[in-house]
Structure 1
Amino acid sequence: MFEENQIQYKLPNGITLLYDKVPGNKSFIISITTLAGSRDDFKGKSGLAHFVEHQLFRRNEKNSYSKIAREFERTGTLYNAFTEHEMTLFFLKSLNEHFEKVYRLLTDFFICPVFDAKDFQKEKKIILEEIKSYQDDPEEFIFDLGNEVLYPKNPLGGIITGTEKSIEKIEMEDIREFFEKYYFPENIVISFVGDIPFDQVRDISEKIFSDYSKPKTERVRAKLPENIVRSKVMKKSIEQSHILLLRRFDTVDAEFSLKMRLLSYCLGESPSSMVYHNLREKSGLVYNAFSNLEQYTDTNVLQLYFAIDKENIDKSMKILDEIEEKIKSKKISRELFTISKSAMIAQHIYKLEIPYEKMMNNVKEYQLNGNFVFRDDFIEKMKLIKYEEFSDFAAKIISEQDWSGVKLLQR
């Protein structure tokens, strides 16, 4: 009988199980993830990984989508799926008493899928509408353009949902081939968070997946394009102009990424941050401004976004230049550094008290590092970062290259 709260276990067929015990919870959350996403789309067929996600949800040998939906709703189960650049994740949240029943419904998407021609055409129409909805959202749209600028002619620069042109090129055989190629056991991660005993989760998982096998595929991803400064300007019928500044770093070790996360927080992830404070609170130029660190397995992107009236773009860029000079001169205030570290530690703890966030954190950390990253590990490593060390790091990072950028301007 296992008693550890966090266990990483390999099923006999090669699937990884991440178990995270939360004592006292009457509900659980579980996800099944394949470590393949839009970055693995076949050439000329962007949106394929996302299309496969839609098809798997549509039906399987045991149930149609409507029957699956009714069974989930009958037990009060919440469920969904999504595709990212490097993963496709299916999850559900339900009461402990329904664990095996709803877990089996989820695993049927993988174990006995049916790729039906009529469903294929229906999903194609749905996805085309989804693409249009993203194009109508300038904040969503500009981040798609950002990846395109940083990773041109590379799947990582493609739009996760695909384009109308690429979706029309996808055929049923592509769906089957992608599923067979990337949904093999060693590429699948199950992440459980709840109070059901580990041996019960393990035994049921082993029983369900006992006959699930596919040949392991050697992943060959396109080489990343040269990391140089690029820009893109577009005009659209919108009320505000949207600006996205980007810096790409092809360094992904844990210490570097932790400091990058702290730099992003100091830049624009809180009311006290340099960009938010100066663009909004001090100057009143924007309503929405934030920064973010997007992490992939072999590259990182520091993103800085704000929406503004086009008449004030030059003023805002001048303020950002002043902020950049402060960082280069190692003048990030000690107070901001201390506040940011404390806030990040607190928010990390808050996040891991929410089962969904805990589940997602475990999958993401496994994807990036191959193992759990325990809460206390993060806290201790964050505490060890010294002000002088961080100031030197931030100055070096900001001095190394200029920002790439995307401007989505008002007509």
Structure 2
Amino acid sequence: MRNLLFITCFFLSLLCQSQEFDTYFADKTLRVDYIFSGNSETQTIAVDQLNELPQWAGRNHNLSSSLLDGNGQITMYNLQSGECIYKNTFSTLFQEWVTTDEAKTITKSFENVFLLPFPKEKVKVEISLRNKSGEYITKISHIVTPSDILIHKKGYKNVTPYSIIHKGKDNVKSINVAIVAEGYKAEEMGSFKKYAEETVQQILSYTPFDKYKDNFNFYIVESASKESGLSVPRNGIWKNTAFNSHFDTFYSQRYLTTSRIKDLHDALAGIPYEHIIILANTDVYGGGGIFNSYTLTTTGHKDFKPVVVHEFGHSFAGLADEYFYESDVLDNTYEHNIEPWEQNITTLVNFDSKWKDMLTPQTPVPTNLSDSTKYKIGVFEGAGYSAKGIYRPTVDCRMKTNTYKEFCPVCQRALEQLILFYIR
């Protein structure tokens, strides 16, 4: 009888999840392209274009909630009832840039793209950005009519060649990751595929990804470039590549990013994806990972394997960098008087919300490095690019150095909680 009751409840749960999605959404994606612009003092957002993609590859449950805060939130409301029917969080390159010295002297614009389930009825979409005080301020609110004839249809033809290299057991409960080529010409796709396969092997070898490998789909996307290699501005090298990515972002030599987000998503139209890994064809060291945007890393460097896992920690789960410098262009990324939203760093403003429950009794807060053998999980100063005022949970972690061979226990918990949020 107990087994029968469990099975009945299980299928009722699945039915409720399906009804919740089917009530409001069609099995398609609404891709909204925005332009974020501004400077260190003011920021604005404008709608650039609406797009329809032929399938939805995101979560089908937990639709109106989010597990992490991010530096921004996008929320969809049913226009008639006012009910929140979808919510997601994100970070952007633009929000990093506004913390730099350059943003104090000039105004710039950045492309950003967000994927939403395609609504059956009119909806209101809002974007809120987190300010310096940690509050979310609505920057734009607009109505989307699903029957709007000016919504572009993409991905129904001329889809970029792709194939699946790792398939989960339950497609409905699988997290979809696209691995795309950058700086690879058409004749170099054999090399790209080899690195894409190594990427999947590396990610799925780390705990907790290894426990949930049956809940991931990985796709190889053969996005060919006209030129081989990658742009390195400090050396006067500019390449014509698929997504025009380059080093020296914010004048930080190894920070590798692309600002051509629309081109990236156009290349993925028609492919089931939610998370993106870009593999760049160069042996120059560097990379970047932006929460719910993309991972970008190089394939030719000797540290390719640990770096791609590290950057995926950023883009997939919003894990913060646990390394630090005495002085760096990104040193002002975090305000020291508010608690960061990332789960693996703290300013101690609200440490109760972080890994305090994982500390052994009598662990000193902060924890001296000299006590690291006594306290495996502590509160060690130096993280988030700052040597002072920001703390990390362990002496070392995949989010700190390339030589450490695993995520620390705090990062592992954050990753597992997010995976479960997606699949259960």
More helix by share: 1
* Rg larger in structure: 1
Q: TM-score, normalised by structure 2?
A: 0.24
Q: Output the TM-score relative to the length of structure 1.
A: 0.25
